[in-house]
A = this chain, B = another copy of it.
Amino acid sequence: MANSYRYVSKTATKTHMDFDYDGPSMKTTVPGPRSQVIHNVGAINFFCNYEESKGNYLVDVDNNRMLDIYTQISSIPIGYNHPALLKLMTNSSNLSTFVNRPALGILPPENFPDKLTESLLSVAPSGMTRVQTMACGSCSNENAYKAMFIWYRNKERGHSTPSHEDLTTCMINQAPGCPDLSILSFMGGFHGRTLGCLATTHSKSIHKLDVPSFDWPIAPFPRLQYPLEEFARENAQEEARCLEEVEDLIVKWRQKAKPVAGIVIEPIQAEGGDNHASPDFFRSLRKITRKPYRIFNTWMGDPSKNLFLAEVLNVIRRENLLEEVTRSGKALLNGLNELQAQYPGILSRARGQGTFCAIDICDDAKRNSILLKTRDKGVLLGGCGERSIRFRPALIFKEYHVHIFLNIFSDVLAQHK
Contacts and interface: CB of A to CB of B under 8 A. Distances in A.
A293 B209 CA distance: 13
Copies in the complex: 2
Contacts of A332: none
A289 interface: no
A414 interface: no
A16 interface: no
A1 interface: no
Interface in A47-82: 47-51, 53, 58, 61, 72-73, 75-76, 80-82
Given A194-B194, A211-B178, A298-B137, A43 B89 contact: no
Nearest to A303: B50
A160 B129 CA distance: 48
Contact of A99 (B45, B81, B99, B182): B81
A199 interface: yes
A221 to B, nearest CB: 13
A43 B106 contact: yes
A101 B89 contact: no
Interface string A81-123: 1100110011001011111111101111110110000000000
12 contacts: A48-B107, A50-B96, A53-B96, A53-B100, A72-B103, A81-B100, A136-B139, A150-B211, A153-B210, A170-B205, A170-B213, A178-B210
Interface of A: 34, 38-39, 41-51, 53, 58, 61, 72-73, 75-76, 80-82, 85-86, 89-90, 93, 95-103, 105-110, 112-113, 135-139, 142-143, 145-146, 149-150, 152-154, 162, 166-168, 170-174, 177-182, 187, 192-196, 199, 202, 205-206, 208-216, 218, 293-294, 296-299, 304, 308
